[in-house]
Structure 1
Amino acid sequence: MTISQSGEQLALQRPRVRNVPEYVSSAGLEAVELAASAGLFLDPWQRLALDDTLGEKPGGKWSAFEVGILVARQNGKGAIIEARELAGLFLFGDKLIVHSAHEFKTAQEAFLRIKALIDNTDALRRRVHMIRTAHGEEGIELRDGTRLRFMARSRSSGRGFSGDTMILDEAQELPLAAMAALLPTLSARPNPQIIYTGTVPAPENDAEHFTSVRDRGRAGLSKSLAWLEWSPGEEWSDLDDREAWAVANPALGYRISVEFIEKEREALSDADFARERLSVWPRNSTGSVIDAKLWRDQLDPTSEAENPVVLALDVPPDRQCASIGSAGRRTAGGVHVELVDRRPGTGWVVESIKQLVTACRPKAVVIDSAGPAASLIVELTAAGIPVVTTSAREMAQACGSLYDAIRNGELWHIGQPELNDAVAAASKRPLQDAWAWQRKGNTDISPLVAVTLAAFGLASSPSYDVLGSIW
């Protein structure tokens, strides 16, 4: 294959999965032009990725809070990062950009590349106040105070920084503990963005978070996550299919040759070649219990529940927020679940449930007796709201029932981003002869737990018709 601008080759450079929040404009062209002025010329597929990364909503904020880019090694995803970092430093006024990688040598190599681009461009170099090259302190600071820091990830790296942009390279090795340290650094910024770039994880990688990002990205239901994936997909199995090689490697004909891939094909095992060159995830690598397609198929923006409904409450272990879910029968058949309220903290919960009880006269309010929300039972009871609690066995039954209802096409939702994200992040917690939703690290699945409990309460009528007898 030779370098070409034919429509056929440009089509092959587009990602197989491209789920991107809507945007009205993009700063991608500005970033591409700045990179070119520094001698960094982007391929068409890289320009597309940068356009989607820098898509803007009305008012100028990024359309994507999170951006995930999955592409095989040596295709040039580093150039996308470099162009984004240059633009953040010299165009967008990002006060702090943090570039982290799993290994220090990777972060250091990225620092040396961006340093070379700046050193060799007079217009950029003149705006630099200081370049730190000491081991572990690598970074660039402009005269206006804008900074770009490079670091290897750890449980504590990133704590204390209030960054505008977080670049998470080697995202296939991204422990939840590291995310717990890094994510809060963006909370106080007016227009933050997280960018994940990585490859398909090897068995030894800690890829739980990146797998969750993949699942949410493939589902295409998030309004704040852009997911770009160059791979033929898990359903594909012909390792010698040249077209699949091109689909998985947008730089084929630019940076990678067919001849080189042929040598890799001969040298690597089937599993390694599929993972490393073709970005094919193992079929058992899903991070979510609920299949993304099944959940998407049950989306109905017009769905609504008939009264009376059942309400349920859940709180994540860190108690940073709380979620109230509901479940009710639909006129068209099946069950409608919905996240009816979700806010930071827990101080608002009792008053909100009192208002909901008055407004919709539910059959019951359900809480998992073994979950973090159980601490609110006393307050709710004191406020005159009787609460139904589930045991560990009933919680397992609730999870299994919701799972079956989704698979059987009997449960419907309206596509709420918080609930979508919780569904995509859900994993299993094994019990003696069953399982329940697993809470891990900083992943908040309380919206899913809340609607699970609500649906279980609805199915358990009339035994759960506690409040209904009051009306």
Structure 2
Amino acid sequence: MKMTTSPIWTSPTEFGEQLRELYGLECAPWWGTPRRPGFATLGGKAARVMTRLGFEPMPWQRYVLDVALEIDPETGVFAYREVGLSVPRQQGKTQQILALMVHRIMAWERQNVTYAAQNRTMAKKRWEDEFLATLDGSSLFGKYRPRKTTGNEAIIWGSTRSLLGITSNTEKAGHGPPLDLGVIDEAFAAEDDRLEQAFSPAMLTKPMAQLWWASAGGTEKSVWLNKKRAAGRRHIEELWETGVHPSVAYFEWFAPDSMDRSDPATWRATLPALGHTVTEAVIQAELDKLDPGEFDRAYLNRTRKASPPDDPNVPKKVWPGLADEKSRPPADEVAFAIDVSQDRKHAAIGVAMRRRDGRVHMELVDRRPGTDWVVPAVSKLVRLWRPLVVAVASSGAPAGSLIDDLVAAGITVPEDKQHPHRGHLVVMRAGDMTEACGQLADALNQGTVRHLDQTPLTAAVNGARTRRVGDAWVLDRTASLVDVAPLIAVTEARWALLTRGPAVLDDYDVLNSVV
């Protein structure tokens, strides 16, 4: 049985086809603003600057520059006032940003370009050790002069008098002369919007002004970056839904949690520089030496989350050792169960199946937003699999609201509880749930269950919290750090299989022996 949880949003196929046709780009961003061929762009000129700096633009860099520097034919200015770039590490982000900034100070007179990184020390180090060093070693050497006075560092272009300076990540950053291009690099380090609040007012009088921010994934403390990424994703999804382009261009290469970090196919779908300046051997070496969470943040562009503290009742440390991706039990002993999250935003269907070796296989069958899909899905599963039992918590739990609909769909409580029919409904009471939770904890510690290491289910195990019920305990939907409906569903399914399934089995075994 394979989980069929709804996938994360994906862009239309024509988007990938466009990138392949225009740029030969096979690694499309998960969220990306499409190119409008009818709009002129300065991307080609910025790409030529990049070449003069000694870097041949990769397909993804050319795509981003072309879109970000589109000119609105009605206004004659940039179509996008803000550009967000969320891309994994070591993909060529720094070289692209340098080309962008150098193009700006080369192309227009009296431009003020300001670069910011994690802090002023890091900005100065990058400005001197990378930006200035790259310029000095390029064919553009001699067309500018550096000003290295502390606090006034700048690269001043000779023919335009435009300058590229740096700033600090403080409340006073960016205050001063009007700003034509502001770049916030390594945005994962920003815990608030002080830089944006400083840059934006300085751009108001500049019709060609742009704010760029760029970063790999951050942590839960990266408040500003996480807000920007969420907004960028919404912009792209709404663009494809409505056809209306916002004033923000957004590009994000990303690997959802469902993609295996150790699979080269995941890397090829997430790292746009792979095969150009980065090899699979290098990524494998990074995987071997880095903590998994840090690898995910740096190379899969996932937000790194703090490890939740342990709940003493949930033996989560044994969970990884019980994973068996090849577990394929026979389909003759099956039990399904349903659970709904506390906020009713998601529902889950779990299954428990007895293996030939006596262990119980637990699997998340489905997890989707809302609850309207649950009863039709369970009805289909009952027809296809002929389970021994379907379990749902009583009316005191969120899933209890589905009981009447399940009965109306033909998934009913047996009239004769001593001789239940296949696919009958079991409504679990409070005592049943405490029993199920205790039994699962024992089974985990004793190693008598197996699972497929499905991301939503594993996340539920890691983030689960419990509450006392007398001297026992149950999983707590409210206090848990994540949606624990997947874990509750498989817990209920296992209980139903072992405590209610045998009555059906015995009945059917007797009938089969008579026949």
| TM-score for both structures, normalised by structure 2 | 0.49
CA offset at residue 158 of structure 1?
0.7
Equivalent in 189, 193, 212 of residue 210 of structure 2: 193
Q: Find runs of 4+ consecutive structure 1 residues off by over 4 angstroms.
A: 20-23
Query: Are the structure 2 counterparts of residues 244 and 12 from structure 1 closer, same or farther at C-alpha, using a change threshold of 3 Å?
Result: farther
Conservation of the 8 A alpha-carbon contact between 2:167 and 2:173: yes
Partner of 2:52: 37
CA offset at residue 136 of structure 1?
3.2
CA offset at residue 161 of structure 1?
2.7
State the secondary structure of the residue aligned to 2:149: coil
Conservation of the 8 A alpha-carbon contact between 1:264 and 1:273: yes
User: 2:76 matched to 1:54?
Assistant: no
Conservation of the 8 A alpha-carbon contact between 2:220 and 2:304: no
User: 2:198 matched to 1:181?
Assistant: yes
Conservation of the 8 A alpha-carbon contact between 2:50 and 2:96: no
Partner of 2:169: 153
Partner of 1:258: 280
Moved more, 249-258 or 190-199: 249-258
Query: Are the structure 2 counterparts of residues 239 and 162 from structure 1 closer, same or farther at C-alpha, using a change threshold of 3 Å?
Result: same
State the secondary structure of the residue aligned to 1:195: strand
Query: Are the structure 2 counterparts of residues 265 and 224 from structure 1 closer, same or farther at C-alpha, using a change threshold of 3 Å?
Result: same
Equivalent in 160, 177, 182 of residue 166 of structure 1: 182
Query: Are the structure 2 counterparts of residues 17 and 197 from structure 1 closer, same or farther at C-alpha, using a change threshold of 3 Å?
Result: same
Q: Give the whole-Å Cα distance in 1 for the aligned partners of 2:60 and 2:28.
A: 6
User: 2:254 matched to 1:231?
Assistant: yes
Matches within 5 A, 1:6-405: 10-20=24-34, 22=36, 24-58=39-73, 59-93=75-109, 95-112=111-128, 113-121=130-138, 124-128=140-144, 130-143=145-158, 144-174=160-190, 175-207=192-224, 209-221=227-239, 223-234=246-257, 236-281=258-303
Q: Give the whole-Å Cα distance in 2 for the aligned partners of 1:51 and 1:91.
A: 16
Conservation of the 8 A alpha-carbon contact between 2:175 and 2:202: yes
Q: Give the whole-Å Cα distance in 2 for the aligned partners of 1:25 and 1:283.
A: 41
State the secondary structure of the residue aligned to 2:189: coil
Partner of 2:513: none
CA offset at residue 258 of structure 1?
1.1
CA offset at residue 91 of structure 1?
1.7
| Aligned-partner residue type, residue 247 of structure 1 | A
Conservation of the 8 A alpha-carbon contact between 1:65 and 1:192: yes
State the secondary structure of the residue aligned to 2:55: coil
Conservation of the 8 A alpha-carbon contact between 1:101 and 1:170: yes
State which structure, 1 or 2, has the greater radius of gyration over its C-alpha atoms: 2
CA offset at residue 240 of structure 1?
1.9
CA offset at residue 148 of structure 1?
0.9
Conservation of the 8 A alpha-carbon contact between 1:56 and 1:63: yes
CA offset at residue 218 of structure 1?
4.1
Query: Are the structure 2 counterparts of residues 106 and 209 from structure 1 closer, same or farther at C-alpha, using a change threshold of 3 Å?
Result: farther
| Aligned-partner residue type, residue 101 of structure 2 | E
CA offset at residue 215 of structure 1?
4.0
| Aligned-partner residue type, residue 272 of structure 1 | E
| TM-score for both structures, normalised by structure 1 | 0.54
Query: Are the structure 2 counterparts of residues 51 and 110 from structure 1 closer, same or farther at C-alpha, using a change threshold of 3 Å?
Result: farther
Q: Give the whole-Å Cα distance in 2 for the aligned partners of 1:110 and 1:35.
A: 17
| Aligned-partner residue type, residue 198 of structure 1 | S
| Aligned-partner residue type, residue 281 of structure 2 | E
CA offset at residue 32 of structure 1?
1.2
Q: Give the whole-Å Cα distance in 2 for the aligned partners of 1:80 and 1:104.
A: 21
CA offset at residue 230 of structure 1?
1.0
Conservation of the 8 A alpha-carbon contact between 2:50 and 2:95: no
| Aligned-partner residue type, residue 91 of structure 1 | A
Conservation of the 8 A alpha-carbon contact between 2:53 and 2:99: no
CA offset at residue 282 of structure 1?
6.0
CA offset at residue 103 of structure 1?
2.5
State the secondary structure of the residue aligned to 2:205: coil
Conservation of the 8 A alpha-carbon contact between 1:172 and 1:210: no
Conservation of the 8 A alpha-carbon contact between 1:171 and 1:210: no
Q: Give the whole-Å Cα distance in 2 for the aligned partners of 1:111 and 1:226.
A: 25
Q: Give the whole-Å Cα distance in 2 for the aligned partners of 1:225 and 1:29.
A: 20
| Aligned-partner residue type, residue 233 of structure 1 | P
Q: Give the whole-Å Cα distance in 2 for the aligned partners of 1:69 and 1:279.
A: 11
CA offset at residue 220 of structure 1?
4.0
State the secondary structure of the residue aligned to 1:30: helix
Conservation of the 8 A alpha-carbon contact between 2:218 and 2:304: no
Query: Are the structure 2 counterparts of residues 119 and 274 from structure 1 closer, same or farther at C-alpha, using a change threshold of 3 Å?
Result: closer
State the secondary structure of the residue aligned to 2:99: helix
Query: Are the structure 2 counterparts of residues 153 and 138 from structure 1 closer, same or farther at C-alpha, using a change threshold of 3 Å?
Result: same
Conservation of the 8 A alpha-carbon contact between 1:138 and 1:151: no
Conservation of the 8 A alpha-carbon contact between 1:13 and 1:44: no
| Aligned-partner residue type, residue 225 of structure 1 | V
Query: Are the structure 2 counterparts of residues 64 and 147 from structure 1 closer, same or farther at C-alpha, using a change threshold of 3 Å?
Result: same
Q: Percent identity?
A: 22
Conservation of the 8 A alpha-carbon contact between 1:176 and 1:209: no
- Residues 344-368 of structure 1, C-alpha deviations (whole Å, 9 max, x = no match): xxxxxxxxxxxxxxxxxxxxxxxxx
State the secondary structure of the residue aligned to 2:297: helix
Query: Are the structure 2 counterparts of residues 193 and 117 from structure 1 closer, same or farther at C-alpha, using a change threshold of 3 Å?
Result: same
Q: Give the whole-Å Cα distance in 2 for the aligned partners of 1:269 and 1:126.
A: 44
CA offset at residue 60 of structure 1?
2.8
| Aligned-partner residue type, residue 300 of structure 2 | L
Query: Are the structure 2 counterparts of residues 241 and 121 from structure 1 closer, same or farther at C-alpha, using a change threshold of 3 Å?
Result: closer
5+ residue gaps, structure 1: 1-5, 295-471
Conservation of the 8 A alpha-carbon contact between 1:88 and 1:94: no
CA offset at residue 209 of structure 1?
4.3
5+ residue gaps, structure 2: 1-19, 240-244, 307-342, 346-368, 370-515
Conservation of the 8 A alpha-carbon contact between 1:94 and 1:165: no
